[in-house]
Amino acid sequence: MEALSLPTALSLVAGGGAGLSPELRAALATSLPLVQRDYRFERVWFWGCIQGVRGAYYIAQGLGPDRAAPRSRLYSLNCLDWSLLTPATEEMLALAEEVKGRFQGDPSFEYSLAEINAEAAARLVQSGKEPVIKEEARLIATIEEIDRAVGIVPRGAFVKTPLGSVHENRHFEGLSLVEAKKLSSYFHFTEPANLKNKTLLEKADLDPSTDFLNSLEHDIPQGSWSIQLEKGGSVVVLRSLLWLGLTFYHVPMTKQFGYVYFGTGEKNLDLPFML
């Protein structure tokens, strides 16, 4: 969610019980504009918080002109001092999937892969690397995985230019209340690995400049999203049941939307048995 509209946005997603203390909100209001200035980002989004056993990681994202380009990610332990994270690699993602359980809250903490996955540890030893994964690497991979799986935007909020770059749609004035209640009105804000093949009849109603992402209606398993109307029906809230703690909000007929994550950084692997 936008750093500039953080107080309002947090109040709109507070129905799930997650939020920040007044002290942390004040710290973010001071530090995030400085992050935007120092790193020369066009926009800064507050991504959320991953709660560890001994501390919490507060995450921010920096965006450039192309909104679909890889984002710069930063973390803080106190919402004041920020450290830039290295981009996630496929190797990081694969290793992080082997680690289970809560985060510790210490970026330098090391997980021993020999105790988790002997085969993965042996491959690292053969390549001359230590069979360990630092919590900072797990943090990078978890943020990337959550963004790929449940980072979403309303249909029409962004447009794709003929050159392939993605920008905010200046003509987007929000979804109608009827459209805002449909899963098909929301897209995953990440490059689609397998864009859903549609029939010619379905394609007739699509606009290539706005319908270039995968819709939530095709998510597997079906039923992994919960849609509710809150604040007297004036706000549409989507919550992910796959990554518990991810909340998206949109105020129909306005440009206000965003998502935030407050959780432990663990995927709900029991979801298929709960539906």
Does the pLDDT of residue 204 top 80, yes or no?
no
In-domain check, residue 272:
no
Strands 257-263 and 43-51: parallel
Strand 235-240 relative to strand 166-168, pairing:
unpaired
Binned at pLDDT 50, 70 and 90, residue 83 comes out as: very high
* End residue of a domain, out of 86, 108, 127: 86
Q: Which residues pair with 235 in a beta bridge?
A: 230
Q: Is residue 271 part of a domain?
A: no
For residue 79, being part of any structural domain is answered with: yes
What span, in angstroms and rounded, lies between the C-alpha atoms of 55 and 264? 11
Of the two residues 243 and 218, the one the predictor is more confident about is: 243
Q: What's CA 211's distance to the chain center, in Å? A: 20
168 within some domain: yes
Asked whether residue 161 is domain-assigned, the answer is yes
Query: Within a domain: residue 147?
Result: no
Identify whether residues 169 and 227 lie together within a single domain. yes
**Phi and psi angles of residue 9, each rounded to the nearest 5 degrees, phi first:** -65, -40
237 and 184 share one domain? yes
Q: Do 157 and 239 fall into the same domain? A: yes
SS3 sequence, 191-203? Answer: CCCCCCCCCHHHH
Residues 116 and 217 in one domain: no
251 and 159 belong to one structural domain? yes
Is 119 a residue whose pLDDT tops 80? no
169 and 122 part of one domain: no
Looking at the structure, do residues 198 and 182 belong to the same domain, yes or no?
A: yes
Say yes or no to pLDDT of 249 above 80. yes
How many domains would you assign to the chain? Answer: 3
Residues 103, 20 share a domain? no
d(CA 22, CA 9): 14
29-57 burial, b at 16+ Cβ within 10 Å, e below that, comes to: eebbeebbeeeebebbbbbbbbbbeeebb
Residues 163 and 80 in one domain: no
User: Among 104, 137, 170, where does a domain finish?
Assistant: 137
Q: Please tell me whether residues 193 and 208 are part of one structural domain.
A: yes
Q: Domain boundary at 45, 60, 86, which?
A: 86
Of the given ranges (17-26, 57-66, 241-250, 253-262), which has the lowest mean pLDDT?
17-26
Q: Which pLDDT band, with edges at 50, 70 and 90, does 6 fall under?
A: confident
Does the residue 157 lie in any domain?
Answer: yes
Same domain, 48 and 17: yes
Look at residue 201 and tell me whether its pLDDT is greater than 70.
no
The 10s digit of each residue's pLDDT in 120-178 is: 667 777 777 777 789 999 999 999 999 999 999 999 889 888 887 888 888 889 999 99
Mean pLDDT, range 227-242, rounded to an integer: 91
Domain boundaries, position 115: 90-137
Let me know whether 31 and 111 are in one domain.
no
Judge whether 234 lies within some domain.
Answer: yes
